[in-house]
A and B are shown apart, each in its own frame.
Chain A
Amino acid sequence: MIALTSMAQQANQPLPAGFQLDEYCIEKQLSLGGFSIVYVATDGQGQRVAIKEYLPNTLALRAEGKTAPIISEEHLPAFRYGMKCFFEEGRALAGLAHPNVIRVLNFFRANGTVYMVMEYEEGCTLQELIQNNPGRVTENFIRNVFTKMLNGLREVHSHRLLHLDLKPSNIYMRNHHVPVLIDFGAARQTLACDAPMLKPMYTPGFASPEHYSQQRDLLGPWSDIYSVGASMYACLAASTPVPADIRKARDELKPAMVLWDGKYSDQLLETIDWCLCLNERYRPQSVFALQKALTEPVVAPDPPPKDNWLGQMVGRIRKSRDA
């Protein structure tokens, strides 16, 4: 995703329901971002799809009742430049075929801008799921969802890509139970950005510390892993963790081990804290390492001491050992 540093904010009008866009018929607007509008539409076979329309709020204005956006002469270079990033998202996704990564079905040009067609299935984002069912966030749920989601992320990394905007609202729960990575708007193959008017955007709370700093060359799989840790933390806390730039100045993020001791296994809580290390070298360095930690069998807590003299002895010895 791209943010434009100094331009007035304007609201863009979505295409109306029933609008025939190429071979697709628009049903409704799904979401509106600073950079694009996402619609639900049906294709010629009646199949539902999601269509993302490149429409940077600050550069292109679509007035009510109009189809093509108005782009001033002055904004055209920036508009075209942003299009490059939209293409990069398309390129990134087109080469990925994985059940835990959103599939791109088509890509086309119309109305003076470009469109990306993606699969659409019933479901909701992980964020919505957790907000609506706080009771569902069990140890097993977290391990299940994140282990599966990490299969997708592993595929992304194996293509030498980074997602760079992982968070619960970018994990879509297909049919409410299969996690799928969506929104690759921040994904980069090469981090070179030569236009000073555009800067990459990140989500505070989920972006890694190296994402904030100018040292873009520190970004790596471990940066996405920080975001995975932050997402797990957010699931347990039902709120966004302290942003990394604030943590770097003064780290007030309470470790998961402290907050949820006894409610979840030590091993899960330790893994979350591991991902959230500020120093990128101390985190799991690969998705595989993290997955290994998440799928390791949980060490059962010590059984309560048996109520006989032998059990009491054993209990006493354990205590003195642990002390």
Chain B
Amino acid sequence: MKFTIYQETRIGKRANNEDRLAHCYSRDALLTVVADGMGGHYYGEVAAQIAVQTLTEAFKREFKPRIRDPFMFLQKGMLNAHRGILDFAGKHHLQDSPRTTCVACIVQNNVAYWAHSGDSRLYLLRNGKVLAQTKDHSRVRLLVDQGVITEDEVLSHPDRNKIYGCLGGQQTPEVTFSHKVTLEAGDVLVLCTDGAWSGLPGDILAIALKTADLLRAVPLLLGQAEARGGPTADNLSMIAVRWQDTYSDGSSGGSSVISTRTMPRDTVTTKMDEFGRNPQSRTELTEAEIERAIEEIRSTIQKYK
């Protein structure tokens, strides 16, 4: 597999960042997850963290080196996250369990599979156009579908934050699955939270990311979205992936392209921020990571002794 990937989350003008995002990949499969902990609920960030952690950990367990059934994986992962959140609430005697949205995508064999619950979105962009996008599980989305309000009224509607699909709620979460979509070289997948998409219409996103270097374009887009959010800007997060497979050469991205061809079959590379840590230094190892790396090497040495 060959792709460029970039992820970033910003706190906006809030006191807390309750967005969580992660990606991990093996030689033959890529998982991306975005979760937005719910502001009105306590421990929103815990719920979001449980969601991304549950999915990435499942990925590390189940790739061999691909995921056997990606839709089944996404369904199980999201339901397990949901139960994990309820367990957390039970263990800490919370009156109301925390909640989170979740959107996750698997890419393997050039095919993308995604699922979502709530109003965090996935866009699939091709040739500067939106080819596919998830449909929010929100009240305003229903109203648009019923023709009660127009697309333009969504962002100013008083109920715009009311969503009916989420992990950790009273009911079993509503999860919507995509079709299998075969990716072409140059396709861009964008996963983002409402803080990001509400300030960035899909067509603008598609044009901005058509050929641009993701490492530069995504921070610029988030900057725009944050500015549009004004003095109360919500947390905003985005993962963008540019697919570079199908053996076409000379694509943009240069040395930042990730090629998994030389990876061992049994390893996974994960990018997920530690809980409660300010994700500003992307290259620095934390103390915990150093300890973990050393532990891992020592146990491998033991195994081969």
Contact = CB atoms under 8 A, between A and B. Distances in A.
A87 B263 CA distance: 15
Interface in A52-106: 76-78, 80-81, 83-84, 87, 90-91, 94-97, 104-106
A94 B284 contact: no
A42 B16 CA distance: 52
A20 interface: no
Contact of A107 (B281, B285, B294): B294
Nearest to B250: A215
Interface stretch (A32-40, A184-192, A312-320): A184-192
Contacts of B283: 77-78, 80-81, 194-195
B257 A94 contact: no
B262 A220 contact: yes
B108 to A, nearest CB: 17
Interface string B53-84: 00000000000000000000000000000000
B295 to A, nearest CB: 9
Contact of B256 (A76, A106, A194): A194
A108 interface: yes
B301 A190 contact: no
Contacts of B265: 160
A216 interface: yes
Interface in B258-273: 258-265, 267, 269
Contacts of B135: none
Contacts, number: 94
Nearest to B256: A194
A190 B263 CA distance: 5
Interface in B233-284: 249, 254-265, 267, 269, 281-284
Nearest to A78: B283
Contacts of A90: 293, 297
User: Is chain A's interface secondary structure helix, strand, loop, or mixed overall?
Assistant: mixed
Contacts of B281: 77
B179 to A, nearest CB: 30
A77 B285 CA distance: 8
A219 B263 CA distance: 12
Contacts of A194: 256, 282-283
B2 interface: yes
A220 B263 CA distance: 11
Given A160-B263, A217-B259, A107 B298 contact: yes
Chain A to chain B: the 8 pairs with minimum beta-carbon distance, closest first: A94-B300, A160-B264, A90-B297, A87-B293, A217-B259, A80-B285, A107-B297, A97-B304
Interface of A: 76-78, 80-81, 83-84, 87, 90-91, 94-97, 104-109, 114, 159-162, 188-195, 214-217, 219-220
Given A104-B301, A194-B256, A216-B257, 19 more contacts: A80-B285, A80-B290, A87-B297, A90-B297, A97-B304, A104-B297, A106-B301, A109-B294, A114-B294, A162-B262, A188-B262, A189-B262, A189-B263, A190-B258, A190-B259, A194-B282, A214-B254, A216-B255, A216-B259
